[in-house]
Amino acid sequence: MNVFVTGTDTGVGKTIVSAWICQQTKACYWKPFQTGCEEDSRSLSELSKQISSREFEGAYEAQNRSVLDIYEGHWGESQIFPKLHEDSSIEATYKLPEEIDKKIVQLLSPETTIIDEVYCLKAPLSPYNAANLENIKINIDKVLENISNIKSNTVIEGTGGILVPICENFQMIDLAQQTNSKVLIVAKSQLGFLNHIFLTVEILKRKNIQIIGIVLVGKVENFLIKTIEKFSKVKVLSILPIMPDLFKLISNTPLPREIYEVLQ
């Protein structure tokens, strides 16, 4: 069985969560569709220095404020993200563009076997739209052929959310169904994230896709966790804080049993 990592949005931390799982289970990593693939020439050592730097420590501190703090007006948006006003994603916090997802996993989990993507597309859009811009027709048979070669015990990272279109009549949710996977939902603590979680859970349940649980990223109050579990009927398995030292984060945070058991 495989773990399919989906998010409630883009930039919520799917790649970091994927690296965390791979590092602790020795599972393989595969992101079939990578978008935003402008050439990235940085070496792993350069990437390592960026991840470890505290250049954006102020942004990190602001990101780790709770949703309640923001709601109560303690932090206006321009104060919270003085350098990230237009992009508050986790990847932006660490100055990591999306096109290097597999490099991040390789860096954080060096022993992980990385399976190459089927399509690497330039525009940071859905696979469907990014392919259209390059006049590329995504061949779903080619994707399914790759799936047949994927063994169990693989962490499969989706692109964006669960309903992101891949090609005509094929979305991320269809990919999850075709890969012998149970789905792990990743959501970042921010205003509006409850609705995104509930919508993701609802569509997965309608398609009879098994949900492992939910991983939250950022500071989350207990009453919000209870609300998520009450209305979604899905367990919140872990809460990953946003912190500068990603190596320490994924090495020292215990992997929930529910995730571990899927990959055995």
Q: What is the pTM of this model?
A: 0.81
Superfamily for domain range 2-262: P-loop containing nucleotide triphosphate hydrolases (3.40.50.300)
Q: Could you tell me which residues come within 8 angstroms of residue 93 by beta carbon, excluding any fewer than 6 positions away? A: 56, 59, 60, 63, 84, 242
pLDDT one digit per residue (tens) for the chain, 264 residues: 999 999 998 889 999 999 999 999 999 999 999 988 765 545 555 555 555 544 333 334 444 455 444 334 332 333 333 333 344 444 443 334 444 788 889 889 999 999 989 999 989 899 999 999 999 999 988 888 888 777 789 999 999 999 999 999 999 999 999 998 999 999 999 888 999 999 999 999 999 999 999 999 999 999 999 999 999 999 999 999 988 788 888 999 999 999 999 998
Q: What is the pLDDT of residue 171?
A: 97
Q: Where are the domains of the chain?
A: 2-262
Within 13 Å and on the Cβ side, how many CA atoms surround 151? 8
CB 94 within 8 A of CB 51: yes
Q: How far apart are CA 23 and CA 35, in angstroms?
A: 24
Tell me the CA end-to-end span of the chain in Å, nearest whole number: 8
